[in-house]
Amino acid sequence: MLSKVAVVLNENLAMFEFGVVCEVFGLDRRDDGLPLFDFRVCGAEPGRPLRSASPGVAVTPAYGLDELRNADLVAVPAFPVAADDQYDARIVDAVRDAAAAGATVLTVCSGAFLAGAAGLLDGRKCTTHWRYVELLARRYPSATVDPDVLFVDEGALITSAGTAAGIDACLHLVRRELGSTAANKIARRMVVPPQRDGGQRQFIERPVVERPADSLADIVQWMTEHLDLPHTVEDLAARAALSTRTFARRFVAETGTTPVKWLTTQRVLQAQHLLEDTALDLETIATRSGFGSAALLRHHFQRQIGIAPTEYRRRFGDGRY
């Protein structure tokens, strides 16, 4: 159960990444039917202002590191990567002890390096900002660093790529613990997608290419509203008045993934909503989601979510159904 959230700060903290954690877990959204988290901002010396990376801005943690001991989630926002890999030993020890006590640790951007210093990356998959992935891999060779993803969920450890990928990781954790309805409500209030496709490869520095003036927004909206219909890339290209090759290339450029993968992700999300909020049987949910059969729904749902649809309904479904 996700109840107490402790965010741990260090000198020169990144304000955006800290703000992401505050936005997702620190605001009172009970008017949306969401739980109020016991949110604690912690530092090695509570009451002492900590410089941020933004000039003229400081943050004063109200709580000490002892609050990490019984936290359900410990969030580590970004701060500068230490050249000698030496971080405040008090913070490193507190994060390590919290993880050993059963807390989930979530890092945003370069926060992964502190998790590494605490020994939490050993033998695990992880990620960080694309600028730092090679350095992270060199410093922690027993970790498997994925340079292409927005975040990695290893159960008790969630690491995210740079800056806005922290939003994806935080919403994923909410979805994992509280269900997609809760994640969607928070995303709607934040005016962000509840789940992005693609990975951080699309953000790596490369020569700027000329983007077409047209956008696929209309066709993507139409696809979203007609997930139950069968779609082929050829049919979608024709609807967009493009050649199949041009449509496929432009779709990847604008969404970060292929039309088929995008459709599968959106259909799984639709199935999640129906499993949570209705008593419909799997065949009907499969039809409404565009999978066509319960067997195909089970296959894609298990592959993407990690559990069977029936188990997902048991965990996150409305108790009336």
How many C-beta atoms lie closer than 10 Å to residue 316's C-beta?
20
**70-116: per-residue pLDDT in tens?**
999 999 999 889 887 789 999 999 999 999 999 999 999 999 999 99
Parallel, antiparallel or unpaired: strands 58-59 and 50-51: antiparallel
Looking at residue 311, what is its pLDDT? Answer: 87
Query: Which CATH number is 4-190 given?
Result: 3.40.50.880
Query: pLDDT confidence of 216, banded at 50, 70, 90?
Result: confident
263-291: average pLDDT: 92
Name the least confident of 5-9, 146-150, 296-300: 146-150
Q: Boundaries of CATH 1.10.10.60 in the chain?
A: 214-321
pLDDT higher than 90, residue 39: yes
Looking at residue 213, what is its pLDDT? Answer: 41
Looking at residue 215, what is its pLDDT? Answer: 74
Looking at residue 210, what is its pLDDT? Answer: 38
Percentage above 90 pLDDT, the chain:
69
Q: Mind giving me the DSSP string for 190-241?
A: HTS-SS--S-GGGGS--PPPPPPS--SHHHHHHHHHTTTS---HHHHHHHTT
CB within 8 Å of 42: residues ≥ 6 apart: 6, 7, 8, 9, 61, 63, 64, 65, 67, 68
Amino acid identity of residue 173, one-letter, is L
Query: pLDDT confidence of 143, banded at 50, 70, 90?
Result: very high
**220-256: per-residue pLDDT in tens?**
889 989 999 999 999 999 999 999 999 999 998 888 7
Q: Boundaries of CATH 3.40.50.880 in the chain?
A: 4-190
Looking at residue 194, what is its pLDDT? Answer: 73
Tokens of 92: 């490193």
Look up the CATH architecture of domain 214-321. Answer: Orthogonal Bundle (1.10)
CB within 8 Å of 31: residues ≥ 6 apart: none
Looking at residue 320, what is its pLDDT? Answer: 56
189-218: average pLDDT: 61
**165-202: per-residue pLDDT in tens?**
999 999 999 999 998 889 889 988 998 877 776 566 54
Looking at residue 22, what is its pLDDT? Answer: 97
Looking at residue 315, what is its pLDDT? Answer: 76
Chain mean pLDDT for the chain: 90
Binning the chain into helix, strand and coil, the percentages to the nearest 5 are: 45, 10, 40
